[in-house]
Amino acid sequence: MSDDDGFGFDDGDGGDEFEFEYYDEEDGGEGFEEEETLESMIHNNYLEAKSKYRDDGAKADALVQLETVMDLDENMDVTERTRWSFKAPQMAALIHLELALGSEGEAKASHFKKCLSLYRKAMRALSKLGSYAPKEKNILPALEKLEAHPDYNELLELTTTTLQARKLAIYHTVRLKLLLRDARHMLDAGEVQKCSANLRECRRISSAEEKPYIFQEVIALEVRVASADNNEREIRNLYHEFDRMSVLPAPEVNAIVREAGGKIHMRERRWGLAYKDFFEAFKSYSDRADARAVRCLKYLVVAKLLMSGPAIDPFAESSAKAHEEKPDIVVMRDILKADRGADIQMFDKIVHDSGHVLASDTFLAGFVATIRASIRTKALLRTVKPYRNVSLEYLAKHLNMEEREVRTMLVLLISDGILEGSIEDDTGVLQLHWDDTDQCAHKKAVRQYSQRLHNVVSNVSV
């Protein structure tokens, strides 16, 4: 029968059979046959326990059998202790964990307590074994199952216990995964400094070349820490570090970093790059059926509103269509319609009636003025297009703006070369200089206006 306990972990080498470095007593010598018989008894009892462990109705019997294994092993000379002194309590710990998860009240607490006690016993035994070295894949799945334990502090203690086991000191993958797991728990619990310390240790003992996939997870967590601290410079550096890596990242890792990168691009008014990153983040979140996909889809729409270039429908993708009837996305679709129609009244009504969709998201709220200025600029350019002379008073009334706002926008549009004309100060009339060449230039300027929009937004009071 195989010695595989069902705790296998594929560490990337393609193998899934356990290999042990274990050496028997030297042949010969009085008493060797007796020790060999004891070893066989231990082995057979362990295999029987494993068989019962796989039977849901016989877990209690498996625990009895494992107790026999541990008792027999303890009868051996301490210098001859076997791998079962580690494997038996580890399996017993997992059985008690499963029993705890299926119990309530005192029974649940009792099983959890026994689970932790047995796991610590397994780690202590591992530290004392001179010739047995389990692979990483013998350790990680057990710890992943133990994550079901509800006590976060005891989880950290289990990690510490594992890392202190002398035999695991060389297992970088085990150490990295444990550090990362606890870093995630720490960050979720708001313990940012402790999380940062774990991530620094991850960088100290590894590199992108040695463990690229794990290193990408480190970067994603560092991005979350930097985001919590509003450290844009650090986010930018991490984003570029991540972008230089050639390995394909896990969807959640990719989504976290790309979403953060998209926000950086938005603040730098690099709308096209922001759209690209938000699209990648949205797709990655969608692949995991992650609720954060809706948030990224909203950011994607805003980036689309502000970017230049060919018309793109953010909802052309089937994954985006799946969300288009959700209340927040309906609002964003309406804003997109207002933008396409250069309808500033429609946009203002949306903000008035459904402004909470934008205001409830700090990042989105910061771009409401930019979107309004964008739509107003489109509306203004569309309104003046048929005229050679038009009063600022008419434009202000038509666009629901103050006359001084219209004047400021026109001055900037003229100075940027988007419009060719002048404002008569004494009459408050805009004089436009149109001819066929100018009309063509005007159309081109309208297509390119968003590239200069930051000049308008930064100087217009909205």
Confidence (pLDDT) at 35: 47
| Overall average pLDDT of the 290-316 stretch | 89
Which of 134, 97, 165 is closest to 4 using CA atoms? 134
pLDDT of res. 166 = 55
The pLDDT of 432-460, averaged and rounded, is 52
Q: To which H or E segment does residue 150 belong?
A: none
The rounded distance, in Å, linking the Cα atoms of 371 and 344 is: 10
Tell me the angle at which helices 368-384 and 327-340 cross, rounded to the nearest 10 degrees: 30
Single-letter amino acid, residue 125:
A
Q: Which residues of 122-131 are buried (b: 16+ CB within 10 A; e: fewer)?
A: bbebbeebee
**What DSSP character marks residue 167?**
G
pLDDT beyond 80 at 330 = yes
Calpha distance 45→121 (Å, rounded):
19
Identify which of 53-57, 173-177, 392-396 has the greatest average pLDDT: 392-396
Q: What is the mean pLDDT of the chain?
A: 81
Asked if 260 and 234 touch (Cβ cutoff 8 Å), the reply is no
Most confidently modeled range among 90-94, 110-114, 262-266: 262-266
Give the closest residue to 245 by CA, choosing from 225, 215, 221, 273: 215
pLDDT of amino acid 8: 35
Residue among 90, 93, 49 nearest 68 (CA):
49
Q: How far apart are CA 153 and CA 173, in angstroms?
A: 22
What is the predicted pLDDT for the residue at 436? 47
Instruction: Return the amino acid letter for 352.
Output: H
Taking 50 as the threshold, does the pLDDT of residue 19 lie above it?
A: no
What DSSP letter does each residue of 350-392 carry, written as one string? HHHHHTHHHHTSHHHHTTHHHHHHHHHHHHHHHHHTT-SEEEH
The residue-averaged pLDDT of 40-68 equals 85
Euclidean distance between CA atoms 359 and 366, whole angstroms? 9
- Which of 32-36, 40-44, 268-272, 352-356 is the least confident region? 32-36
Is the predicted pLDDT of residue 321 greater than 60, yes or no? yes
At residue 320, the 3 state secondary structure works out as helix
Q: Which tens digit of pLDDT belongs to each residue from 178-206?
A: 888 889 989 998 999 999 999 999 998 88
Q: Which helix (H) or strand (E) holds 219?
A: helix 212-228
pLDDT at residue 47 is higher than 90: no
- Lowest-confidence region among 17-31, 45-59, 145-159, 435-449: 17-31
Question: pLDDT value at position 28?
Answer: 41
Most confident of 79-88, 207-216, 330-339, 410-419: 330-339
What lies within 8 Å, CB to CB, of 372 at 6+ separation is 344, 347, 348, 351, 462
3-class secondary-structure state, position 139: helix
Does the pLDDT at position 269 exceed 70? yes
3-state secondary structure of 429: strand
Q: Which two tokens stand for residue 404?
A: 């001084």
Give residues with Cβ within 8 angstroms of 422, minimum separation 6: 414, 430, 431
Among 94, 214, 107, 204, which Cα is nearest to 158's? 94
Q: Spell out where 90-240 has E strands.
A: none
* pLDDT at residue 24 is higher than 70: no
Sign, Cα dihedral of 45, 46, 49, 54: negative
Tell me the DSSP string of 252-302: HHHHHHHHHHHHHHHHTT-HHHHHHHHHHHHHHHHHTT-THHHHHHHHHHH
Q: Is it the case that residue 2 has pLDDT exceeding 60?
A: no
CA angle 263–264–266, rounded 5-degree value: 65
The set of long-range contacts for 318-325, using a CB threshold of 8 Å and a minimum separation of 24, is 319/282, 319/283, 319/286, 319/293, 320/282, 322/286, 323/293, 323/294, 323/297
Give the mean pLDDT of 156-171. 65
Across the range 256-268, mean pLDDT stands at 96
Q: Highest mean pLDDT range out of 42-46, 216-220, 305-309, 384-388? A: 216-220
Above pLDDT 70, what percent of the chain?
76
Mean pLDDT of 5-21: 36
Query: What is the full DSSP assignment across 30-83?
Result: TTHHHHHHHHHHHHHHHHHHHHHHTSGGGHHHHHHHHHHHHHHHHTS-GGG--T
Confidence of residue 32 (pLDDT cuts 50, 70, 90): very low
d(CA 42, CA 88): 10
pLDDT at res. 181: 84
By the 8 A CB rule, do 82 and 39 touch?
A: yes
Is pLDDT above 60 for 432?
yes
pLDDT exceeding 90 applies to what percent of the chain? Answer: 38
Tell me the average pLDDT across 254-282: 96
Query: pLDDT tens digits, residue range 334-388?
Result: 999 999 999 988 999 999 999 889 999 999 999 999 999 899 899 999 999 888 9
